[in-house]
Amino acid sequence: MSANELSGKVAVVTGASRGLGLAIAHGLARAGAAVAVASRKTAACQSVVDELSAAGASASAHAFDAGRWEDCDRLFAEVTARWGNAHILVNNVGMSPVAPSSLETSQALFDKIIAVNLRAAFRLCALFGNQMRAADGGSIVNISSSGSLRPQPGFAPYAAAKAGLNILTTTFAKEFGPAVRVNTVMPGPFHTDATQSWSRSEEFARHVQSALPLKRAGDPQEIVGAVLYLVSDLASFTTGACLAVDGGHSIA
């Protein structure tokens, strides 16, 4: 993919201040896109914008709480006011807290997990997808999880939300086609800021070495190629797809 493949495109990336979202934001910028950086804290968003700007890219910062429906609406309004319209949406924001057990999962925690991982993506797909369909078309990528296929105890609400996100991809691919393509990337175990407390442990290393064909966890940069493929013309005949980037976790 050429360095200017996405020149003239505006990409919105949620959860873009760290981890996979940060890597995706940088990858889209390197491919020529202007990037609307959306995350919970203004300072964190601005820090990423400063990084992208220093590298010669165009970017804007947008504080955004994915658990709030009205923040989804506000993000859409801000991006539209700043850039006119978006051509790419990457629904990356997510949270995966582990409860001691399903019985000990509170209603507040359950509701927050569903709101952040599923409801926000639904709202943003609806808003930006309709805008893309009415304009020049576009591409949406939902970042799900291999846990949506292979759920583990303690992750039931998160796995259910990500499985729902897979269904949203199928639904919106039909609703917004042919102008807008909608696809899913399903990451497996990755080393990120959010996972470092366990993903760098000896126990986890033993687990991936025995359970995954590639015998390791991924690094954030290794998600970028899948996203760039799906938002580019290379994937012009791809919609409604779920692409696993998981070291073989989904087949292990």
Catalytic residue among 64, 128, 158, 176: 158
Residue 139 pairs with which residues in a beta bridge? 88, 181
Let me know if residue 4 belongs to a domain.
Answer: no
- What's the total number of domains in the chain? 1
Let me know if residue 44 belongs to a domain.
Answer: yes
In tens, the pLDDT along 155-184 reads 899 999 999 999 999 999 999 999 999 999
pLDDT bin (cut points 50, 70, 90) of residue 196 is low
**229 in active site:** no
As a whole-number percent, the residues of the chain with pLDDT over 70 amount to 95
Let me know if residue 37 belongs to a domain.
Answer: yes
pLDDT bin (cut points 50, 70, 90) of residue 214 is confident
pLDDT of residue 192: 78
CATH number at residue 93: 3.40.50.720
Residue 38 pairs with which residues in a beta bridge? 14, 62
Decide which of 66 and 191 is more confident.
66
Decide which of 43 and 3 is more confident.
43
Let me know if residue 141 belongs to a domain.
Answer: yes
pLDDT of residue 237: 98
Let me know if residue 52 belongs to a domain.
Answer: yes
Let me know if residue 1 belongs to a domain.
Answer: no
Range of the domain at 162: 10-245
Element (H, E) at 34: strand 34-39
Let me know if residue 5 belongs to a domain.
Answer: no
* Sheet of strand 34-39: strand arrangement: 59-63, 34-39, 10-14, 88-91, 138-143, 180-187, 242-245
Let me know if residue 3 belongs to a domain.
Answer: no
In tens, the pLDDT along 82-94 reads 999 999 999 999 9
